[in-house]
Amino acid sequence: MARKVLSLCTAAVVAGAITASVPWTAAGASARSGYEPVLNPADFVKVIDNPYYPLPVGRTWIYRGVKDGKSQVDRVHVTPRTKVLEGITATSVTDVARHRGKLLEKTTDWFAQDKRGNVWYLGEKTAQYLPHGKIDRSGSWRAGLHDAEPGIIMKANPRVPDAYRQEYLVGSAEDTAWIVARGGSFTIPFGTVHHVLTSLEFTRLEPGVIDQKIYAPGIGIVREAAVRGPAEVANLVSVSGG
């Protein structure tokens, strides 16, 4: 690994900083939280070509790693399908996780890019497959439904120390991101990528967990790992199409 993972001490400090810089809600509607972005559908474009979060139709990423103590293979695919949310036409991206061929989780996420190059996250439909045939859909949300609000998954020009909401549905979807580094190189199975971007993600719904993500220009996420909380990692092993 070319980039040193942040220490737990640093991660804890960053978690506190995120908490201080992003307005939280005690209860009730997002309007009372101080977070209610107003988006104009006319300000959005059809193509998602943000350098750190490109989503060309047909592209597929394969990740291998460990989650909940199990080996996992994740297949992320940009479909040609779209969904209109808050009047905005969003691209549908599927994410399917398996353990030795057994389905663990299946998610469809919806993203759209504005004219400035910011990529917005407009919702997800998720199903986690549990033992005894149970299915957990608790992470699902859609902008405009039950007072859920969209968030930014990647800014047009992310800089240290930008912090922002990635999604918002009180009690269900409250992920935030903090840009902690920009620059340097990182080695992946099929080469070395340069000018990488590093972020930490945190949600008050899981106060003991902090994730680190590393992004490469033209590719997107190349590694995700927990730096605080249960051991979890996903490394990009291939990218194709698009």
pTM for this structure?
A: 0.88
Burial of residue 123 (number of CB atoms within 10 Å: 0-12, 13-18, 19+): buried
| Model confidence band, residue 132 (pLDDT cutoffs 50, 70, 90) | confident
Locate 188 and state its tokens.
Answer: 């992946």
Mean pLDDT, the chain, rounded, equals 89
Could you tell me if 184 and 3 are in contact, meaning their C-beta atoms sit under 8 angstroms apart?
Answer: yes
Q: What is the pLDDT of residue 33?
A: 59
| Model confidence band, residue 141 (pLDDT cutoffs 50, 70, 90) | very high
Could you tell me if 148 and 139 are in contact, meaning their C-beta atoms sit under 8 angstroms apart?
Answer: no
Q: What is the pLDDT of residue 20?
A: 46
Residues 75-128: tens digit of each pLDDT: 999 999 999 999 999 999 999 999 999 999 999 999 999 999 999 999 999 999
Residues 6-30: tens digit of each pLDDT: 444 444 445 455 444 444 333 334 4
